[in-house]
Amino acid sequence: MICRGISLGVIIGFLLGGLRLLKRPRYSEQQIRNTQRKMKKISNIFKYIVFMALALGLIWCIYYLVLGICDPEQSGYATNMSQLIVSVLTVISIIFAFFEFLRDKPGKDE
């Protein structure tokens, strides 16, 4: 029921957002520069969070690798935990890549 409700909310939100695209507001140059500055700050914050998460994920995946080698009875648990860590890190990395993609790059208009 929770997933149905969230899915319905996302669909309705996207439909209403699509209607909003028909009437595009005009932004001043100052508003555009402020938004670009905020996006750069958010992207830099995400960069450090992602690097920290990747480093921690590497440490814990190595731990579970050693656990699986040293205690074969725990190898199933170690594999599942490593897969969970990698899945979470993949989602975090995709979010970071999205913000990097949106960030304005110098020389983009040339």
Domain assignment of residue 73, given as a range: 29-102
Average pLDDT value for residue range 39-51: 85
Q: Which long-range contacts (CB under 8 A, 24 or more apart) does 13-21 make?
A: none
State the total domains in the chain: 1
- Confidence (pTM): 0.66
- Is 69 part of a structural domain of the chain? yes
21 or 62: which carries more pLDDT confidence?
Answer: 62
Contact 65, 81 (CB under 8 A): no
pLDDT of residue 110: 43
Residue 78 in this model has a pLDDT that exceeds 70: yes
Percent of the chain with pLDDT over 70: 93
pLDDT of residue 66: 94
- Is 68 part of a structural domain of the chain? yes
- Is 1 part of a structural domain of the chain? no
Separation between Cα atoms, residue 55 and residue 67, nearest integer Å: 18
Average pLDDT value for residue range 24-31: 85
Percent of the chain with pLDDT over 90: 47
Give residue-wise pLDDT tens across range 83-106.
999 999 999 888 888 877 877 665
- Is 5 part of a structural domain of the chain? no
> Can you say how many angstroms the Cα of residue 6 is from the centroid of all Cα atoms in its chain?
19
- Is 109 part of a structural domain of the chain? no
Residue 41 in this model has a pLDDT that exceeds 90: no
- Is 77 part of a structural domain of the chain? yes
- Is 80 part of a structural domain of the chain? yes
- Is 94 part of a structural domain of the chain? yes
Tell me the average pLDDT of the chain: 86
pLDDT of residue 100: 78
| 41's tokens | 């700050």
